[in-house]
Amino acid sequence: MSSINALPETYIEGFHDEQFVKRMEYVPLGQTGLKVSKISLGTATLSQLYKDLDEAEGIAAVQLAVRRGINYIDTAPFYGQGRSEEVLGKALRTIPRGAYYVATKVARYERDFERMFDYSAKKTRESVEKSLRLLGVDYIDVVQIHDIEFAPNLEVVLQETLPTLEALRNEGKLKFIGVSAYPMDILKQAILEAPGRFDTVLCYCRNTLFDDSLKDFLPFFLENRLAVICASGHAMGLLTNAGPQPWHPAHEQTKAVCREAAEYCRKNGVELGKLAMHHFIQLAGPSTFLSGMQTQQLVTINLDAFFSGLTAKEAEVLAYLKERENSLGRR
């Protein structure tokens, strides 16, 4: 059950903006015992992955997000090769520890593909220890194995990465363990081969205006008592007026269709990102909907999509885009 208008355990009097916190929805994070905000904060954007970062503005965005009720924050060593964790750590030092849950990842690190992935026990332990230092915390709430589809095989994930995280959990350095990937069939395989050993599963770009494939796997994840973290409703920037970064891996046809949608939104004085966010958070089942926000303006836009919904004009534009979903390449 979710709760609206009730103050969560993470509420800190004198820090939070109570009127916003009371409007946020808090949902059980699977079987962890935590209740997380329906909207959560992704911080890949606190790095050079998303253009030059204004560090002060990024820190202010984190502070604003938490003050307004977001209590789940996600990062990873790969995001800027530690830059995201470093900037997030600076922000977290200004926020009471009881006000948030923080999640990071292991196994994906460098930009050079030859050195990008390392699922070994040794690197996993080193990574968690480094994340603790950069984030400035004594423990991490959730550590996820990042993009397991790139592992040489699932055996190394299940025989080295996962047992190391379980050992670190026993040492009190983390509380819960998760897994992430883009292809969802490998997530299902990992969960089947390690029943009961994962607490969360993160899927990204799988519940958007042009991809609804999470629906196919959601019943399996929920039957296995996993907290589903649904990430990147903006499809890593594709579904925004500003458009994606040059490195975005989408096909050119998909990029062209999204550019067309963004242009239509601009002509109508509407932000495509808000429409994408509104659509994204309608799916029942996930514990939280994770979105990157590196500015206070983006925090405001995304939270407004949740708190206030769409204006009549925005709803009209979204209906038009949905009518054209076949041309958007929706599966």
Domain residue ranges in the chain: 18-245+272-309
**Residue-level length of the chain:** 331
What residues contact 294, with CB distance under 8 A and at least 6 apart?
A: 43, 45, 46, 50, 53, 54, 57, 58, 61
Distance of alpha carbon 208 from alpha carbon 221, whole angstroms: 19
2-14, pLDDT tens digit by residue? 445 679 999 999 9
pLDDT of residue 1: 41
| Mean pLDDT taken over the chain | 94
132-153, pLDDT tens digit by residue? 999 999 999 999 999 999 999 9
Whether residue 79 lies in the annotated active site: yes
How many CA atoms within 13 Å lie on the side-chain side of 215? 12
Distance of alpha carbon 79 from alpha carbon 53, whole angstroms: 12
Provide the pLDDT confidence category of residue 245 given band limits of 50, 70 and 90.
confident
Measured distance between the N- and C-terminal CA atoms of the chain, rounded to whole angstroms: 30
pLDDT of residue 159: 98
- The answer to pTM > 0.85 is yes
Provide the pLDDT confidence category of residue 47 given band limits of 50, 70 and 90.
confident
Identify residue 151 by its one-letter amino acid code: A
pLDDT of residue 326: 55
> Cα-Cα-Cα-Cα dihedral of 77, 83, 87, 93, to 10°?
50
pLDDT of residue 40: 98
Secondary structure of residue 289 in the 3-state scheme:
strand
Distance of alpha carbon 247 from alpha carbon 23, whole angstroms: 37
- 202 — alpha (psi -120 to 50), left (phi > 0) or beta? beta
Provide the pLDDT confidence category of residue 50 given band limits of 50, 70 and 90.
low
Q: Pick one of 3.40.980.10, 3.40.50.970, 3.40.50.720, 3.20.20.100 as the CATH number of 18-245+272-309.
A: 3.20.20.100
59-90, pLDDT tens digit by residue? 999 999 999 999 999 999 999 999 999 999 99
Provide the pLDDT confidence category of residue 95 given band limits of 50, 70 and 90.
very high
Distances (CA, A) of 30 to 223, 304, 323: 11, 26, 34
Q: Pick the range with the lowest mean pLDDT from 15-19, 200-204, 253-257, 286-290.
A: 253-257
Please determine, for residue 224, whether its predicted confidence score (pLDDT) is greater than 50.
yes
Tell me the H-state helices in 194-290: 214-223, 252-267, 272-280
pLDDT of residue 221: 98
Distance of alpha carbon 74 from alpha carbon 286, whole angstroms: 15
Residue with tokens 């253009």: 51
106-128, pLDDT tens digit by residue? 999 999 999 999 999 999 999 99
**Candidate list 26, 79, 100, 119, residue with the active-site label:** 79
What residues contact 66, with CB distance under 8 A and at least 6 apart?
A: 16, 41, 73, 95, 99, 100
